[in-house]
Structure 1
Amino acid sequence: MKNTILLSLLALSAGLQAADNAFNDPKPQRYELSKRASEIDPRAKEHPEIGFVFADKKGKPQDVNTACVDTRVKPQGKLVIWLMGHSAGLMERWNSYGLHAIQVHYARGWFGMIPSTRRDDGNTTGNIRLEAATGEDHSDLVSIPQPDGMMERAFQFVRWLSKENPQGKWEQFLSEDGKGLRWDKVIVSGASHGATTSARFAKHTKVDRVVCLCGPRDQYESWQSLPSATPANRYFGFSHTLDGGWTGDHYCRSWEMMGLNKFGPIVDVDISAPPYQNSRRLVTNADVGGKADRAHGSVTPGGSAVKDKDGKLIHEPVWRYLYNHPVDEVGSPTPADPDCVKDQRK
């Protein structure tokens, strides 16, 4: 582990030295910016019917977008869009890898809108996820206009960043016509329901990479087996074996339906080393005190993450792999697991 940490520090140092002229920033530094979506785009609306509001009852803003970039590090020319609440730990790591990163506020509080009679019909949840992500009409249960979907919110935020933080060169992620993002340069990622929406969105829109931490789920849905705009080798997953999504076969089901078994076996990262047989399916058995809730959150850097005896997070090499491993380097095809229950409705 000490050797791994040393190598990571050396790699970061090399990146810093190589980045002298990458951004042309007279004062290279790590920038972190935030701005309310309602202040960026006057078309943005609240949707209290799904708990999507700009401020809570105490007046605390709820529609804050966050972005960060480190102009001391050689840039990869890729943007991570995080589909969950702000994660300082992940953003710091992405920046150290040379990635730009944003977290956007979009209309995702729709869980209570699904009637029990439709919740497990195989299509409803996935369609709502897609509408929330795209702002397009994919579901008859919600009405999420384009300005309130993830795609438009992300575009408007990056356009704002290109003007507010020219040192970060955010304009490279804007399409040539200036009407959207360069999705081929985007890594879409999330944890839990954010991981699931990331995967659902990537089925619809081709992106550079998808990273699903403790996900995807939607164990009664069929969208995982749909044709994918994003090639299957560009999806990566990481979860803990005590997580309810794993013990209930939700993760193994989604991974196989998405075709990830074609690119390597399920690899236990605690007894393996990078590049983890070039697999897209990574798991950990790290000690979380037997707590499923902690297991769920342990695959992201934070309070639930597992540390070694020296207090260092043990999954640093895993996060680096997930967001940086060359997508064309894949493992050997692995047969489907007959013990993984695919039809969860029986």
Structure 2
Amino acid sequence: MLLQAQEAKAPFKYKDAAPKKHEIKARASQIDPKAKPHPEIGFVFEKDGKVSDYENACVDTRVPSQGKLVIWLMGHNAQLFDRVSSYGLHAIQVHYANGWFGEFGKEPAPADDKFLGKIRLEAATGEDFSPVVNIPKPDGMMERAYQFVKYLEKKNPEGNWGYFISEDGKGLRWDKVIISGSSHGSTTAARFAKHQKVDRVVMFCGPRDQYETWQALPSATPENRYFGFSHVLDGGWKGDHYCRSWELLGLNAFGPIVNVDKMPAPFGNSRRLITDADVKNDDKRAHSSVTPGGAAVKDASGKFIHESVWKYLFTHPVEKVGEAVAADPNCKKDLRSPKKN
């Protein structure tokens, strides 16, 4: 433990005699015997005869490390992991009890304007924040991530994953974590960062929870460390879900909304990025187009057009910010009310 603490304080170093990109895959239920399925919220280890609790990790020891760990809160995205590992970041995707949204994320909105936020926080922490779910610590994101990193330190010592374990050995060094996700995952990432200080939050096509106000709660993570990216044809953008979340998070203090197709990096140092790239007027494709993958937009040569955006979101110095702007009067903040506000 003392050695681990000493390593945590020292500059990051790989332990790889033959540097390469390492990709690791393992089942959460095998990593931690305390992990349990929760079929009552659609969270299981196997579905339709297929394993559903795989977790994925990636690190490229050929690239100088930034000493940061990306925790991705949606299904594994290999193309995203290719990129973040090329930036010198470690990355993991964890399988945790996040299947509750299909049960509770339905309209009409509950009277409690923090209802979904409480469930998100319980799913992320494994602590009792919501009366409608019972997610114990081993099945929350924090513990799943910690157990996976402990596993990786033994399974892939070349990547020096132990650097991200806290000095007391009881959890992760959250100040070294970049929490990220898309849609449902980006919303949970933002809610978690309100509760737990992290290095950075990267939010693709989100956050939503458009009838809630937890986005305006005091934040353990400084507001300049939140970064968002959305397509303007995404239903969440057209419905003011994202613009209101961004403003409630306080991101207008760090610059205007910037169209990345019209301004090059560093995008005025803004935290609020949008695109109107051609997605053939397909709102579903628009939703997914902001992350690397089949829906992302390519140029005539077949290259993704948002490579600089993805790198910016994960690596732009947080102390560099744009000039504050006023709240947008055309972005409806109270979506429970039929009137503009």
Local SS of the residue matching 1:67:
strand
**1:67 alignment partner in structure 2:** 57
Matched, 1:235 2:233: no
Q: Identify if the C-alpha distance between structure 1 residues 22 and 173 changes in structure 2 by more than 3 Å, giving closer, same or farther.
A: closer
Match of residue 27, structure 1, among 13, 18, 35: 18
Matched letter for residue 158 of structure 2 = Q
Deviation at 1:123, TM superposition (A): 1.3
Deviation at 1:61, TM superposition (A): 1.0
Deviation at 1:22, TM superposition (A): 4.2
Local SS of the residue matching 2:51:
coil
Q: For residues 220-278 of structure 1, what are the alpha-carbon distances to aligned partners after superposition, in whole Å with 9 as ceiling and x for unaligned?
A: 01100000000000000000000001100111100000000000000000010111000
**1:87 alignment partner in structure 2:** 77
Deviation at 1:119, TM superposition (A): 3.4
Q: TM-score, normalised by structure 1?
A: 0.92
Match of residue 314, structure 2, among 287, 305, 323: 323
**1:201 alignment partner in structure 2:** 192
Q: TM-score, normalised by structure 2?
A: 0.94
The answer on whether the counterparts of 1:298 and 1:304 sit within 8 Å (CA) in structure 2 is yes
Deviation at 1:24, TM superposition (A): 3.7
**2:8 alignment partner in structure 1:** none
Local SS of the residue matching 2:26:
strand
Residues 240-319 of structure 1 correspond to what in structure 2 (within 5 A)?
240-319=231-310
Matched letter for residue 37 of structure 1 = A
**2:326 alignment partner in structure 1:** 335
**1:179 alignment partner in structure 2:** 170
**2:148 alignment partner in structure 1:** 157
Distance 1:159 1:251 in 2: 35
**2:29 alignment partner in structure 1:** 38
Q: Percent identity of the aligned residues?
A: 66
Further displaced range: 49-58 or 172-181 = 49-58
The answer on whether the counterparts of 1:120 and 1:220 sit within 8 Å (CA) in structure 2 is no
Matched letter for residue 97 of structure 2 = A
Residues 96-245 of structure 1 correspond to what in structure 2 (within 5 A)?
96-114=86-104, 119=110, 121-245=112-236
The answer on whether the counterparts of 1:120 and 1:221 sit within 8 Å (CA) in structure 2 is no
Local SS of the residue matching 1:158:
helix
The answer on whether the counterparts of 1:265 and 1:279 sit within 8 Å (CA) in structure 2 is yes
Match of residue 77, structure 1, among 39, 62, 67: 67
Distance 1:313 1:118 in 2: 38
Deviation at 1:120, TM superposition (A): 5.5
Matched letter for residue 165 of structure 1 = N
Matched letter for residue 305 of structure 1 = A
Deviation at 1:117, TM superposition (A): 6.4
Local SS of the residue matching 1:155:
helix
Q: Identify if the C-alpha distance between structure 1 residues 117 and 217 changes in structure 2 by more than 3 Å, giving closer, same or farther.
A: closer
Local SS of the residue matching 1:102:
strand
Deviation at 1:170, TM superposition (A): 0.2
Distance 2:194 2:186 in 1: 13
Distance 1:314 1:220 in 2: 33
Unaligned stretches of 5+ residues in structure 1: 1-20
Unaligned stretches of 5+ residues in structure 2: 1-11
